[in-house]
Structure 1
């Protein structure tokens, strides 16, 4: 019985190539967009290189001072880190880095623009960058004010030639001549809290050591001994904030310490207090709406196609086909179209992600198809495929034989 349905279905799909193309395109396009977008989100949200134990971390990225008339918001200052955050007992390590910026260097009459980031030596402990050559700078290097830097493999290839040794060579950057002491494996630029091509000791960031402002350019990473200790670390931080003196003319002091993905969503939302759950709700709503629109269009397309097949329906009913048999046939056609469209979408998505990785359009990217997301997307596409086929099929199966033979009039 099933084999007969499949034979009839493929015959119908071959006989109506335009409808088949439009249906496959709609399904493939929708699912491809979902797979590619979720690959970006998954790469951003999941624990992996260069922080495989991200669930142990809190990120201090927002310091806010408010009064009745105004508010100020920025990242953390060196004063806040050294005089307050370093006093926390729960974290087993505290590291920080600056904002990602760009600067130009000249080598062999070539201008090369590089992403650079200031950091302290503990930054290498709260991350797990893979050292390909040389070493990372240490607190002793910073104490001695050594002009040393760490670069990524992509910066090394750009500056000195692919896979050429870079340790011991110099780079003129930001009015200083720095010596390369290490090369690390680049991470994806979507991890912009961590990403850089050149990492420079924060001691060259021209920060006034006497400045007691709480706001500055740094993102601080608090690492707990284990994931179970993160809530206690958060409570200790908030208790400390409650005891901190509020600057003159300000009423309240707020210091945000969130998980990685929640920190990212707040940054993208300009520091809004929106929760991570709100972000997921918006993302799910957009995805469902994106899939619902093609489904509605396919309902209309299916109705038009089935009106063209009214005579066929009338003949099959005249030879004893029941309404249930006809509905099952039409639904089978939609299911097969959905499966074919889904397989095509997986192939197209894999090709797009491989192209993005291979061409380096997103520096350091290693995007991959998330098969868990594929299963969810496939289930939703199948649901909407059934939704777009059941109603038209039921409507046409209710036609009287005489009406069907006249073309459904």
Structure 2
């Protein structure tokens, strides 16, 4: 019997092509928009390789330097390596602390006497490889001895290795980076640009460049570095912040004319994503409200419109339901028919919506993720984990909400018809 209901539903799809198409497309758009928002949010906060431990990471990228004798004077920006080392590296509570330059730099890389290639370079210390989990295809990262020695070693991504050497088997080979020779010590899988703090195509020791010693501002406190802290548990966040404050007090005792302002940092991953400048606090509550409001609007408005279409379609079928009741159809059979028809509409809409969400993420990636996702879209989709792109729980909740609203708008009039006199139902009264 259920098989017959679905056959009838398919037949009705062909008979009412316009209304059926509007219902399916409307459901698809509602689900697609919700999934796009969720994909965007998960790309911001959900763990995926190599940023596998986002849930227990703390991030420090900006500070303020306040002159005690002039409260109207304040300088904001990144801190120097020595400042970061004194204030964070000495911590005992975290599992690991890494210091890198403030962000990726574009450099020219080339095989000796070869053609130049532009690449993204991140300068790190050796603990960087303990916080971020890279998949090494060959070789290994530079270690503490290499970092202390300022060794000219480099880890490069597989795609960069092929661009420079035509193969990924390049450990031990030498290439030029801004005209300085580096030896490849490891090759890793390509990293998605959505891993904003770990992404690069080439990783080199911070100690091998001038970013290691570069400072600015009075007393050489400020500089060009960022700090990433991996806690053993997110429950340790308050203790880590307290320890960071204590170490800052000790360090600043040697600079009595200044205060080093943390501006509420180190931040969790989500909060860091909302921080766009050093001296303006991130609008976390506002961001959460916007996400919730957007999801509700994207879910409720299309669903209400779809329910109106479904209700209109059911009103046209009141006489049909009355005839079926006159020929002995039970309430259960009538409701099952309505259920199967709406399940079919919602199923087609859900599948189409899921496909549209991936198409939108690919085509609108530059706007959604603030990266050049279009030019690197295939690579980014390949390097991101499937769990990040597809959250079955969210998809099922969005699908269920649309289905229930569609079902109620169809089932309520159908149920009312089954409760009315057959003659009135046939005459649509």
TM-score range, shorter-chain basis? 0.7 to 0.9
Give, in angstroms, the shift of residue 159 of structure 1. Answer: 1.5
Q: 1:258: which partner in 2?
A: 267
- 1:38 paired to 2:45: no
In structure 2, relative to structure 1, the CA distance for the partners of 1:252 and 1:200 (3 Å cut) is closer
User: Greater shift after overlay, 67-76 or 235-244?
Assistant: 67-76
RMSD: 4.1
Q: Secondary structure at the match of 1:183?
A: strand
What residue ranges of structure 2 are gaps of 5+ in the alignment? 364-372
| CA distance in structure 2 between the aligned counterparts of 1:370 and 1:82, rounded to whole angstroms | 34
What residue ranges of structure 1 are gaps of 5+ in the alignment? none
| CA distance in structure 2 between the aligned counterparts of 1:335 and 1:363, rounded to whole angstroms | 31
Pick aligned residue for 2:314 from 297, 302, 306: 306
Q: 1:63: which partner in 2?
A: 63
| CA distance in structure 1 between the aligned counterparts of 2:279 and 2:326, rounded to whole angstroms | 66
In structure 2, relative to structure 1, the CA distance for the partners of 1:369 and 1:390 (3 Å cut) is same
| CA distance in structure 2 between the aligned counterparts of 1:81 and 1:133, rounded to whole angstroms | 31
User: Greater shift after overlay, 284-293 or 385-394?
Assistant: 385-394
Q: 1:91: which partner in 2?
A: 94
Q: TM-score, normalised by structure 2?
A: 0.76
Q: 2:192: which partner in 1?
A: 188
Q: Secondary structure at the match of 1:220?
A: strand
User: Greater shift after overlay, 127-136 or 114-123?
Assistant: 127-136
| CA distance in structure 2 between the aligned counterparts of 1:280 and 1:267, rounded to whole angstroms | 16
Give, in angstroms, the shift of residue 341 of structure 1. Answer: 2.6
User: Greater shift after overlay, 254-263 or 240-249?
Assistant: 240-249
In structure 2, relative to structure 1, the CA distance for the partners of 1:253 and 1:247 (3 Å cut) is farther
Q: 1:215: which partner in 2?
A: 222
- 1:149 paired to 2:154: yes
Q: 2:367: which partner in 1?
A: none
| CA distance in structure 1 between the aligned counterparts of 2:388 and 2:153, rounded to whole angstroms | 39
Give, in angstroms, the shift of residue 290 of structure 1. Answer: 1.2
- 1:19 paired to 2:19: yes
User: Greater shift after overlay, 294-303 or 31-40?
Assistant: 31-40
In structure 2, relative to structure 1, the CA distance for the partners of 1:282 and 1:255 (3 Å cut) is closer
Equivalences for residues 186-335 of structure 1 within 5 A: 186-203=190-207, 204-206=209-211, 208=213, 212-225=219-232, 228-241=235-248, 244=252, 248=257, 254=263, 256-267=265-276, 272-275=281-284, 279-313=287-321, 315-316=323-324, 329-335=337-343
- Judge conservation of contact 1:193–1:219 (CA < 8 Å) in 2: no
User: Greater shift after overlay, 374-383 or 262-271?
Assistant: 262-271
Pick aligned residue for 1:177 from 178, 181, 194: 181
